[in-house]
A = this chain, B = another copy of it.
Amino acid sequence: MKSISDYSTMVEEAIIEKDYASKTPESLYGPVAYGLQKGGKRIRPVLLLMAAEAFGKNPVECLDPAVGIEMFHNFTLLHDDVMDCSDMRRGRPTVHKKWDGNTAILSGDTMLTLAAQLMMNVDDSRLRCVLDVFNSMSVAVYEGQRLDMDFETRDEVSVEEYLDMIEKKTSALLGASARIGAIAAGASEKDCGLIYEYGVKLGLAFQIQDDYLDMFGDPATFGKPIGGDVLNGKKAFMLVSMLERGGSDADALREAMKMPPSELKVNTVRSIYEHAGMPELCSRTIGEYSRKSLKALRSTSLGEEARMPLERLVDKLIDRKK
């Protein structure tokens, strides 16, 4: 049985082989290659390859769609970093910081089309289906990003609205990764639906873990500055959960959020979260979504052995530190 790192090595090598750095104009493709460099977790392409192999396809035949899904993910990072004015990602300057905003926009656009091209390397009989999933997922991601931006200027956002937003912005991509792998392998429609559900629920657990790490992660391993969500006024999981719950902790949080951006603000908000038991709520919620993810996976026609890498991915993602 392949380990997670076996799959990610396959992805890494496939990306290197594409050699985007040598394409011209270098001013367009250099940032594409930089965005794709080692450092990301490669979760999405790994998920695609794992799902393909679980349903009986040689994952080597799915490397192009796998690189395509990683390309899509990195396209969204280039544009999100411009929109969020984020200067650091994975411990390195972002494209708009290293080059400029226009470069991040245009090389990002290029990555979206390159992703669509890579996604087309599937059998003719599965092409329309794969692209339908890819395009619908893309639109969901844009809608999620838009909602995330709109939430920043709203006073209150319900937990339900927050979950709808992250399902679109983050989870749809994990769901689509797994689904495209399954489609490429010729899985039944029912299995494709269940594996999508597995990916979506995994994605929800993943995003809540991300929100938790943004506040309680180790700055040395997280790759981004700690407290970014609080400093950028993002309506992340702990914030919306506390405000919806109400009470004196929520009042204190509301006051703290009025502070100007500073380390003090981040530390104040962190103390309030700790006092209100937010780390425990995160951990409980992550556990719930992980169980739902595994339940969907176990409802597929896959046998225990075929399922195993996908089960281990769930454990790995919720134990991560970055």
Contacts and interface: CB of A to CB of B under 8 A. Distances in A.
Interface of A: 25, 27-28, 79, 82-83, 101-102, 105-106, 108-110, 112-114, 116-117, 120, 124, 127-128, 131-132, 135, 138-139, 142-143, 145-147, 149-150
A112 to B, nearest CB: 6
20 contacts: A25-B143, A25-B146, A25-B147, A28-B142, A28-B146, A79-B105, A79-B106, A82-B102, A83-B105, A83-B106, A102-B149, A106-B145, A110-B139, A112-B112, A113-B139, A116-B116, A116-B135, A120-B128, A120-B131, A127-B128
A85 to B, nearest CB: 10
Contacts of A120: 128, 131-132, 135
Contact of A135 (B102, B117, B145): B117
A102 B114 contact: no
A90 B101 CA distance: 25
A117 B136 CA distance: 9
A206 to B, nearest CB: 22
B25 A106 contact: no
The CB with the most chain B CB atoms within 10 A, among A102, A124, A127, is that of A102
Given A27-B150, A124-B128, A150-B25, A79 B109 contact: yes
Contacts of A138: 113
Contacts of A108: 109
Contacts of A110: 139, 142
B109 A143 contact: no
Contacts of A102: 82-83, 149
A260 B316 CA distance: 59
A78 to B, nearest CB: 10
A117 B101 CA distance: 27
Contacts of A28: 142-143, 146
Contacts of A131: 116, 120, 131
